[in-house]
Amino acid sequence: MDLVQMQKSLQDYTKSLFLEGVLDSQFLQLQQLQDESNPDFVSQVVTLFFQDSDRILNDLSLSLDQQVVDFKKVDPHVHQLKGSSSSIGAQRVKNACVVFRNFCEQQNVEACHRCLQQVKQEYYLVKNRLETLFKLEQQIVASGGMIPAMELGF
Amino acid sequence: MARDGGVSCLRSSEMLNVGLGGMESPPLDLDEVHVLAVDDSLVDRIVIERLLRITSCKVTAVDSGWRALEFLGLDNEKASAELDRLKVDMIITDYCMPGMTGYELLKKIKESSSFRQVPVVIMSSENVLTRIDMCLEEGAEDFLLKPVKLADVKRLRNHLTGDVKLSNGNKRKLPEDSVTVHALLPPPPALTLSTDSSDSSPPLSPVEVFSSPLSSQEDDDVLTTSPGSSPTPEESMGRRQKMRSPGLD
């Protein structure tokens, strides 16, 4: 695949993520913060997000598996995940967290279990998509090309 | 890579500078804006730090209200003479933090004689009017809805430059021989990252197109309630209106 094709693929792929609602405009905000002096900013932040989220999801699983669920512990975790996913533009993860928090408030254990599954699903989805996106970018850079700026004609 | 703990740094080379306690570093250029950012979320800390640096601010980022007070020298009764020289031009803090909330931090800052003049900006993911009012009433300069955008920070920055230029008389002057507590500060941004870059950065049009309908660039989105909401006291309204687009005139 030549450079132009790779760049087009990347743009199409990124666009699809927005169209599917996997990413929102906050991701574009992050891209604005990337430049020659900070060429890996987005992937750095996203990597931190992954590390943070892995930990939070683990803690959440443990908390919800307790005999008596302590919602005072569960809610802050979800709040944290909601915040960080919002900060990187992981829209569906964020939305799933919003639903999760509502059920935390209601102290509905069963619903919370379902919410956790939903959050995990969305999280693994965005993780997978972003990892693919970064790979595409790396291929372009390795071929001596530049990452094209996002063109949003939709 | 960043490490969690007191202060976040993006590059490992910066970690060499970490550590309170008398490390020699050049005194801050009085023209440079120094912002203290407070957020318990590592991801948010990295983002706000970058947002501030890209708008030519020097940044110290800490992960809690306590560390902020520690940095400012407000954590014990005796005010340190050295720390009294600290130049902080703005404090931007998350509202929801474990231990000490941003509101509590705001109060402590406004109670201190050394730092009560410093503008304090609150960030929150929740657009709760009572919360906003409470913070403004306590003397917060502004209230930003998370996730924070570049336009929000640029606006703050422009506002701040205005203040610094106008009220240089109020700013503490750094004596030449003082050692500032800026061991925590990362080195200044690379030369390529001049103030110009904030205005002529890579193609903004797609982002502008994308962000204007969706973002809360105008304060209206942050401040307005949904239609048919309960009336708010005139005082709060006035205060909130005063917040609106100070830099957009």
In this complex, do A152 and B44 lie within 8 Å of one another by their Cβ atoms? Answer: no
| Burial annotation A47-59 (CB, 10 A radius, 16+ → b, else e) | bbbbebbeebbeb
Give yes or no for residue B123 having a pLDDT over 70: yes
Residue B226's SS3 state is: coil
What pLDDT is recorded for position A100?
Answer: 98
Query: By the CB < 8 Å criterion, does B206 face chain A?
Result: yes
Substitution target in B3, B39, B47 with the highest count of A β-carbons within 10 Å is: B47
What type of residue is B174? Answer: L
> What integer best gives the mean pLDDT of chain B?
70
Q: In 3D, which of B120, B176, B124 has the Cα closest to residue B148? A: B124
What pLDDT is recorded for position B20?
Answer: 42
Q: Which two tokens stand for residue B128?
A: 């709760």
Bridge partner list, B145: B124
Strand ranges for B79-147 from DSSP E: 90-94, 120-124, 142-145
- Give DSSP secondary structure letters for A38-76: BTTHHHHHHHHHHHHHHHHHHHHHHHHTSSS--HHHHHH
In this complex, do A48 and B43 lie within 8 Å of one another by their Cβ atoms? Answer: yes
φ, ψ of residue B192 to 5 degrees: the values are -65, -20
Q: Which two tokens stand for residue A61?
A: 């699983």
In this complex, do B125 and A83 lie within 8 Å of one another by their Cβ atoms? Answer: yes
Work out how many CB contacts closer than 8 A connect A with B. 90
Q: Which two tokens stand for residue B78?
A: 């005796």
Give dist(CA B59, CA B50) in Å, integer: 9
pLDDT digit string, tens, across residues A43-53 = 999 999 999 99
In this complex, do A150 and B215 lie within 8 Å of one another by their Cβ atoms? Answer: no
CB of B144 closer than 8 Å to CB of B222: yes
Bridge partner list, B91: B36, B120
pLDDT digit string, tens, across residues B130-145 = 999 999 999 999 999 9
What pLDDT is recorded for position B115?
Answer: 94
Model pTM?
A: 0.73
What pLDDT is recorded for position B200?
Answer: 44
What pLDDT is recorded for position A110?
Answer: 95
Q: In 3D, which of B42, B48, B111, B84 has the Cα closest to residue B180? A: B84
Substitution target in A37, A43, A105 with the highest count of B β-carbons within 10 Å is: A37
CB of B247 closer than 8 Å to CB of B158: yes
Which is it for strands B90-94 and B33-38: parallel, antiparallel or unpaired?
A: parallel
Give dist(CA B105, CA B62) in Å, integer: 13
pLDDT digit string, tens, across residues A8-58 = 999 999 999 999 999 999 999 999 999 989 999 999 999 999 999 999 999
* Mean predicted confidence (pLDDT) in B201-214: 41
> What integer best gives the mean pLDDT of chain A?
94
pLDDT digit string, tens, across residues B135-178 = 999 999 999 999 999 999 999 988 887 765 554 444 444 444 44
